[in-house]
Structure 1
Amino acid sequence: MDSPHSLPPITLGSRDLARLEQLLESPALRRLPAAQALGAELERANVLPPGQVPDDVVTMNGSVTCVDEVSGDKHQFTLVYPQDADVVTGRVSVLAPVGSALLGLSVGQAIDWQAPGGRALRLRVVTVVPPPESADVLHR
């Protein structure tokens, strides 16, 4: 993982931030290392109002394609809340290390990350498909 000084800037919508902070307040989660790591990510985020988050930013319920610059492997998944996670359908929890690492990154940004087992990865965001609800966020 990068040192705090070399982490890329991240952007979050205020609605995602509020939902994630509520998730992290859960007594069942707040002491978990994954929740603490996500909390640290949220603290360094540039927060924007709903509807102002650029379409090339990895958001909750958005789909992302990234490439491991070390191996060349491509990965595609949708970033979801823990209760919606399903590895078979490519729905990765924001509490998974890769989920919290990619949250808020923009196309072209990369982050160093250690896979389970200690293998070093450098994941670069290639494409982002915003969640369907981002199109009608102002109509709710």
Structure 2
Amino acid sequence: MSVFAHGDRVVTELDAVRLTKLGAARWPAGLSDALDLAEQVPSLQVPANVVTMYTQVRVLEHGAQAPKTLTVCYPDDAEPALGFVSVLSPVGAALLGLRVGAHARWVTPQGEARSAKIQSILFQPEASGDYTT
């Protein structure tokens, strides 16, 4: 049974196609269920409060004093020390498709359960008119 419900997430059709091309064998646990249940929309119709690929998001991790700024990206562009997290990482997969105010939950490679509230979106490509990034 999935921990996700239909409509919990929104992904653009372009993001879904590109993720599929990466190969499901590389996906972290839960990403397949999340994408299967996500509402897929054309890039022009994605709400500005949704985390899409290359969205820069401000999150407050449970127990942290200060928020972090993260950008969800493809694996080749990942630089975790600079806040660029791969969509194939547990945290990147957890954030994709969620809205501002939602709580992302993931398990680290070391087996530690983590969660963070999405406080705001600082930049979303689609909201700025970029529908192809």
TM-score between the two structures when normalised by the length of structure 1: 0.78
Structure 1 residues 112 and 118, CA, compared in 2 at 3 Å: closer, same or farther?
same
* Matched-pair contact (CA < 8 Å) for 2:58–2:69: yes
Q: Secondary structure at the match of 1:4?
A: coil
Matches within 5 A, 1:73-84: 73-84=66-77
111-120 vs 58-67, which moves further: 111-120
CA contact (8 A) 2:51 2:124 kept: no
Using the alignment, how far apart are the partners of 1:32 and 1:137 within structure 2? 27
Distance 1:95 1:5, change over 3 A: closer
Paired with 2:131 and 2:64, the residues of 1 have a C-alpha distance of: 41
AA of the residue aligned to 2:72: L
RMSD: 2.6
State the shift of 1:8 in Å: 7.7
- Is the contact made by 2:56 and 2:72 (CA closer than 8 Å) also made in structure 1? yes
Deviations 1:51-110 (A, max 9, x none): 111111111011111112334442211100001101232110000000001110000011
Q: Within the alignment, does 1:121 sit opposite 2:114 as a pair?
A: yes
Instruction: Note the residue ranges of structure 1 that are not aligned, 5 or more in a row.
Output: 25-29
Counterpart in the other structure of 1:10: 9
> Does the residue aligned with 1:95 lie in a helix, a strand or coil?
coil
Aligned residue pair count: 131
State how far apart, in whole Å, the 1-side matches of 2:129 and 2:6 are: 31
SS of residue in 1 equivalent to 2:115: strand
* Corresponding residue SS for 1:20: helix
- The equivalent of 2:30 in structure 1 is 37
| TM-fit CA distance, 1:33 | 5.8
1:105 maps to 98
Cα 1:8/1:109, change in 2 over 3 Å: farther
Cα distance change on mapping 1:138 and 1:108 into 2, 3 Å: closer
Q: Distance in 2 between matches of 1:19 and 1:41?
A: 15
Which of the pair has more CA radius of gyration? Answer: 1
- Which deviates more from structure 2 when the two are superposed, residues 88-97 or residues 61-70? 61-70
Would you say the 8 A contact 1:58–1:105 is kept in 2?
Answer: yes
- Structure 2 gaps of 5+ residues are none
Secondary structure, in 3 states, of the residue corresponding to 1:39? helix
1:27 alignment partner in structure 2? none
Alignment-mate amino acid for residue 107 of structure 1: V
